[in-house]
């Protein structure tokens, strides 16, 4: 596994970052032991960079996987908090539930523009204070928007950006793939650590997964690529590809049999609350229930917590 310096931080991360969203309650909902075993398998393959978020519900898996692990691991998490008090609670929750005194990377979750970042300024200021106190080592934001990348590139206090980036530009909220590439390259030149998300376009590019991943890996201004995984077979395949190698054929075939989708339960009442939580506009109310536009859905699962009746899940 190749390791690189994450921008101007003092963190060295594997080129492949383990995305934990798919193994948690918003998607596969693996048993604790199974999820921890998957993460441990990734660590044993040389991955030292783990991506999570407060909303993913995957802290317990990571904590269990890291118990007894002695090699350095970089954990990046995110919070939607926009006030000082809210971010303080999010940071303490992460430290407690991950059983880590220091969180290596802490991000503002899903920023859209300079205006959105300004609206989260209190939370950002708290993270900067936490960084000064040694509770956080790097501060930044995640985004699906070109405007947010451009805005973050201009803020010297931002260390890390986690942008949506894939060969077809699927899921970009406000521009083309070329716009995003130019914005991310500019941010990297400004010293920001860059680790990309959605290289497979939320599953839309799964049929050309190797090509799609190679596109992002070969970008000289991207330090790491976060890929969501929910099986040890997926870990083995993604590790091989990150090294430029071919995975065992039988293992690759196992991963190709898995097709994910957003499932909406029959008891959905069509209240529509979830539609406001989908950044891609993939959900709409049709009669008495919610329906999904599968051409827009990125399988992020962010809609699921909005449903009080537990109707939504990526399976």
Domains of the chain: 3-256 (3.20.20.100), 262-314 (3.30.70.20)
The residues, any chain, with a CB within 8 Å of residue 277's CB and separated by 6 or more, are 302, 303, 305, 306
Return the ∠ at Cα 315 (arms to 265 and 166), rounded to 5°. 125
Mean pLDDT of 83-102: 98
Contact (Cβ atoms closer than 8 angstroms) between residue 61 and residue 20? yes
| Torsion of the alpha carbons at 56, 61, 66 and 72, rounded to the nearest 10 | -20
Contact (Cβ atoms closer than 8 angstroms) between residue 117 and residue 111? yes
* pLDDT interval class at 311 (50, 70, 90): confident
Contact (Cβ atoms closer than 8 angstroms) between residue 216 and residue 182? no
Q: How many CB atoms lie within 10 A of CB 95?
A: 17
pTM (global) more than 0.85: yes
Specify the pLDDT at position 202.
85
The percent of residues in the chain predicted with pLDDT above 90, rounded, is 84
Q: Where do we find the tokens 């799609």?
A: 212
The residues, any chain, with a CB within 8 Å of residue 237's CB and separated by 6 or more, are 247, 251, 252, 255
Mean pLDDT of 130-158: 98
Specify the pLDDT at position 94.
98
Using CA atoms, how far apart are residues 102 and 89, in angstroms rounded to an integer? 15
- Token duo for residue 47: 């991955």
Give CA 305 to chain center in angstroms: 16
Specify the pLDDT at position 266.
85
Give which of 155, 174, 153 is closest to 164, Cα–Cα. Answer: 174
């Amino acid at each position: 596994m190749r390791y690189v310096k994450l921008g101007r931080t003092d963190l060295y991360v594997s080129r492949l970052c383990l995305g934990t969203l798919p193994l948690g309650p918003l998607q596969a909902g693996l048993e604790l032991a199974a999820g921890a075993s998957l993460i441990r398998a990734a660590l044993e393959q040389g991955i030292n960079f783990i991506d999570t978020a407060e909303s993913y519900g995957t802290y317990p898996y990571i904590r269990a996987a890291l118990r007894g692990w002695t090699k350095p691991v970089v954990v990046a998490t995110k919070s939607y908090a926009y006030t000082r008090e809210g971010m303080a609670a999010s940071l303490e929750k992460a430290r407690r539930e991950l059983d880590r005194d220091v969180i290596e990377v802490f991000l503002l979750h899903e920023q859209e523009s300079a205006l959105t970042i300004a609206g989260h300024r209190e939370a950002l200021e708290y993270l900067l204070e936490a960084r000064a106190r040694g509770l956080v080592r790097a501060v930044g934001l995640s985004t699906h928007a070109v405007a947010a990348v451009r805005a973050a590139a201009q803020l010297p206090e931002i260390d890390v950006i986690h942008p949506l980036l894939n060969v077809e530009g699927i899921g970009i909220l406000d521009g083309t793939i070329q716009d995003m590439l130019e914005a991310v390259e500019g941010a990297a030149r400004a010293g920001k650590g860059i680790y990309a998300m959605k290289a497979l376009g939320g599953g839309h590019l799964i049929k050309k997964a190797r090509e799609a991943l190679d596109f992002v890996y070969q970008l000289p201004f991207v330090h790491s690529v976060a890929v969501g995984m929910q099986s040890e077979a997926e870990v083995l395949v993604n590790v091989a590809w990150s090294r430029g190698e071919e995975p065992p054929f039988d293992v690759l075939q196992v991963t190709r049999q898995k097709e994910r989708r957003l499932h909406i339960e029959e008891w959905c009442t069509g209240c529509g609350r979830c539609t406001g939580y989908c950044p891609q506009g993939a959900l709409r109310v049709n009669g008495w229930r919610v329906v999904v536009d599968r051409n827009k859905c990125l399988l992020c699962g962010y809609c699921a917590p909005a449903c009080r009746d537990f109707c939504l899940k990526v399976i």
